[in-house]
Homo-oligomer: A and B are copies of this chain.
Amino acid sequence: MALMGRMMSEPLLISALLKHAERHAGETEIVSKRVEGDVHRSNWREVAQRSRQAAQAFARLGCEAGDRVGTLAWNGYRHLEIYYGASGSGLVCHTINPRLFPEQIVWIANDAEDRVLCFDATFLPLIEKLAPLMKTVRHFVMMTSRAHMPASTAIPNLLCFDDLLAAETGDYAWPALDENAASSICYTSGTTGNPKGAVYSHRSTVLHAYAAALPDAMDCSSRDVVLPVVPMFHVNAWGLPYSAAIVGCKLVMPGPHLDGKSLYELFESEQVSFSAGVPTVWLGLLNHVKANDLKFSSFKRTVIGGAACPPAMMKTLQDDYGIEVIHAWGMTEMSPLGTLSKLTTRQLGLPPEQQQRLLEKQGRAICGVDMAIIDDEGRSLPWDGQNSGNLVVRGHWVISQYFKNESSPLVSVDGEPGWFPTGDVATIDADGFMQITDRSKDVIKSGGEWISSIDLENIAMAHPAVNEAAVIAAKHPKWDERPLLVVVLKPGASVTRDELLAFYDGRIAKWQIPDDVVFVAEIPHTATGKVQKLKLRDQFLAHRLPTA
């Protein structure tokens, strides 16, 4: 008979992280640039106190265990207090992406059955329009102080967040919840169909937060000043609000001010050492820094994910600004971190170009996540850096089902069930370094061979005249599909179609070079900053490729 351990039995709870931060980093600052434009200074002790007040306030509003508290908000201390106040007290924090179309926002709030909706002042006009359509919301709470409340509004009984908190004592003991209870919900904004909800648990969130802070992952310590550029409505800002509490570091919240100039000023004034975000944000920041011949005085490393970081951007950050770039990959269904690219001792002995090529991959799985690549029949493929297949994952912080959807999205690998199909196509090398070669639906199928759109985009992005590039499949009478390069030029730059195509010579196999180039003023993005390839494909459906 199995012998059981004789250890204390404590659930893994989000509230424990906040308690730890309050006790061991009580005076460590939480700095927020507010919607109003001013800078607000708080610390972990105050955030903990106000989170307990928020828990009491939600209870007073009639919220019961498992009820959803929706948020429509930027990164800021009040959002953080709702994260902990709601989840910690047994409610479910449901972050909604305000960049979605209004009808999607309504659909998501109704699907999640949000009981309370908290929103930043920015979104008052939007919520005034949408409130009547949100059938389950009983209380609308504006995340501001009394002084900033509107004199009149179309929202009946609009509540003021700071007032709600002021009415409570904060004398509140976090409940001992089931660690598998839901803590938060985040909807994926799929490019097709309705959004789907990922429902995280306290256990999955806490385990993810520990693993994400490890030296081979985000490497967060109490000596860091962390600025999450990635929004708190994007998979919980990649878990940083939780990892930051575990290590008790200073947090700098940018609010809605994500332009290059605002970010740079915040980086410098608060001496930010570490940040995380999608490539497009760094594009804006780098443009500002370059244009004004500025340097960073404290910024040391950044995790870039959400989309592949163009190698040219990685090189600029590393070589011109001395910033370590940690390439990461994950998804909403994975809480989100899956892999990060950090070199091992052995790899640090390789020639610089080989090291660079490894850093451009998405990296190794964090301990807690398993990966496999499989063919269309579910057979696992070798880890040789050559074979590419459908990437599947499993682990402590991977979903098993979507919210309100009893069908299982999971697949089998070599007959073993329980793997989540990511929809990405990837290679994995012998050291476990994974590289996304494409989204399975973005691969260009040319005469039976697969061409990675990402490879072609990265090459175009390395051209000095190119600001952004996307490669899509265009119909071809002979080859079925051929790559078409869509390009946005840098302000003031110019380049011809033929010069751009010649730029591919020697950088990739001849048969993979795009057949044509289209210059556009803008490439369409999803609400989460990803290129909308489906939209691009629709747009250029009628594009006639030149015949050789």
Contact = CB atoms under 8 A, between A and B. Distances in A.
Nearest to A201: B5
B182 A418 contact: no
Contacts of A1: 65-66
B8 A432 contact: no
Interface of A: 1-10, 12, 16-17, 19-20, 23-28, 65-66, 68, 90, 92, 177-178, 180-183, 198-204, 207, 210-211, 213-216, 219-225, 245-250, 342-346, 348, 364-365, 367-368, 370, 394-403, 418, 420, 430-432
Given A2-B65, A24-B365, A216-B247, 18 more contacts: A5-B202, A7-B396, A7-B397, A7-B399, A8-B396, A8-B418, A16-B368, A23-B370, A25-B344, A28-B346, A210-B214, A213-B214, A214-B247, A222-B342, A223-B342, A223-B343, A223-B348, A224-B345
Contacts of A10: 394-396
Nearest to A342: B222
A5 B365 contact: no
Instruction: Identify which of A2, A17, A207, A220 gathers the most chain B CB atoms within 10 Å of its CB.
Output: A2
Tell me if A's interface is mostly helix, strand, loop or mixed: loop
Given A219-B215, A224-B345, A199 B5 contact: yes
A198 B365 contact: no
A371 B59 CA distance: 30
Contacts of A430: 26-27
Q: How many copies does the complex hold?
A: 2
Contacts of A183: 5
Contacts of A224: 345
A392 to B, nearest CB: 12
A401 B406 CA distance: 41
A428 to B, nearest CB: 9
Contacts of A3: 66, 68, 92, 181-182, 199
A342 to B, nearest CB: 7
5 contacts: A4-B182, A24-B431, A28-B344, A214-B247, A219-B221
B249 A345 contact: yes
A321 to B, nearest CB: 21
A356 B223 CA distance: 16
Contact of A8 (B92, B181, B245, B400): B400
Contacts of A247: 214-216, 367
3 closest residue pairs by CB, A with B = A5-B201, A215-B221, A24-B432
A333 to B, nearest CB: 10
B403 A6 contact: yes
A248 B344 contact: yes
